[in-house]
Structure 1
Amino acid sequence: MMSGTIQNRDAFLNKIASRLGRNRFLTTVERPEWSYHPQDTVLKDADADELLEALKTQCTTIHTDLIETNKAGLIDTLRKIVSEYGGGSIVAWKDTRFEQYGLSPLFDTIWPSENIDVHQWNPEAGEENIQLAEKANIGITISDITLAESGTAVQFSNKNRGRTVSFLPLKSIIIIPKSSIVPRMTQAAKIIRERVKNGEHLASCINFITGPSNSADIEMNLVVGVHGPVKAAYIVIKDL
């Protein structure tokens, strides 16, 4: 991976220091070593099944439907949820994992034969992708990391995974491999940090999505669907 260069950094930092009326600090700050790490204790000893149970419990709090299935039953499960959510137009990522999960027939033949419009993100289409996402009834994406404690799906965008697929359609369906479930934000941050250390190219945008959009800004009254999907479903694939 090619690393970027920072131009005029010293001149910029020197100017800031002079405006503050002090010399620029040239020494680096040592990372502190803490003796106690409470963030590591939450769900510390939970196995995969216990993490899934924690996720299911949290989904009842964040107004999110959670459906369990396996790879063999994924097509039928996804068709059922799409039908329950009103069918209509669908926008989805152009993600190779859909093929790995056996969903290609659904996107290529089954839904088109049922007169359901399906658009998979096309980087060459530019703004048209966003326009279609705005009009779509359902957006379908995949979680890269899933936080059991908060019920959060972590998604890495790229040219084939438009970030607007998650929040512009009226409803959101997120496919969650069971293997992607970790205890909480602590583990997600560690995974991301390790990828950076390994020189991996990370997404320019990493979304942390916790169920449908909601707000309690006005007199602490919760309103769901204020600035994004009004309904959300997580489909957990137990054998992935």
Structure 2
Amino acid sequence: MATLPDPSRAGGAMPRHVAIIMDGNGRWAKARRLPRIAGHRQGVEAVRRVARAAREHGVEVLTLYAFSSENWRRPEDEVRDLMGLLRHFIRSELAELASENVRLRVIGDYSVFSPDLVELIDNAIARTAGNDGATLVIALNYGGQAEIVAATRRLAERVRGGVLSPDAIDDALFERELQTHDLPPLDLLIRTSGEQRLSNFLLWQAAYAELLFVDTLWPDFDGESLAAAIETFGRRQRRFGGL
């Protein structure tokens, strides 16, 4: 059986692992007659606020959907701007992450980014690898379906090589092939901007997560917004298929 969230933490408890689909940067900018990049810049500020607030609330893992595998379909100049903001965020926040004992993790295939950005990400991960406080996970060039397909291929190769029996494959074994295998189970998944879909984010991991869709655009999401989401989580009854 796959690892489920701890039922004893339900009912007024703090979620260990929170994930956020950060949506609404473009609409925030459009409403103010600003270019989309202005919305993305404010979105980075929201990341700073929320990451700090999550640590203050005692959230162990915060996973943020920063760049999906589908985001390559956006205009080239917008993708370039997003990559520039990612560089800026890592350079400006790395010292604080290190000093606050935060471990940085990345899920997704960021190897396709430019070599200098890949090196920057690798160095940031290495610098914080020994930290044992909160974990900040950034999803970059990530897609839930691709993650599941990749895990399936690895198991299929082991079966073909004769080192694994098909009968031995269960959900727990499959879960160990996912990029999140060493993280606590996902408790709460939030999407901002009023949209109500997962958009290919943490599809396996969200099986028993509490889902919360809020109207707030991501640049306006802050510590109080996170606190309200956590309070909503605490009021939910989580039975995980039981009574």
- Above 0.5 in TM-score? no
TM-score (norm 2): 0.29
Q: With a CA cutoff of 8 Å and minimum separation of 6, indicate the structure with the bigger relative contact order.
A: 2
Structure number having the greater helix percentage: 2
Structure number having the greater strand percentage: 1
